[in-house]
Amino acid sequence: MVTLQDLADYPIVLYMSQFLENFIHSYEKVYGEMNVLFHTSNTEVIKKTVAEGLAIGLVSNYSLIDDPFVETGRIVPLALNNFTFDSDLYYGCIISKKDAQHGMVKKFLEYIKS
Domains of the chain are: 5-113 (3.40.190)
Give residue 87's pLDDT band: very low, low, confident or very high (50, 70, 90). low
pTM: 0.69
| Burial class, 14, CB count within 10 angstroms (exposed 0-12 / middle 13-18 / buried 19+) | buried
The pLDDT, as a whole number, for residue 44 is: 93
Residue 17 has pLDDT above 70, yes or no: yes
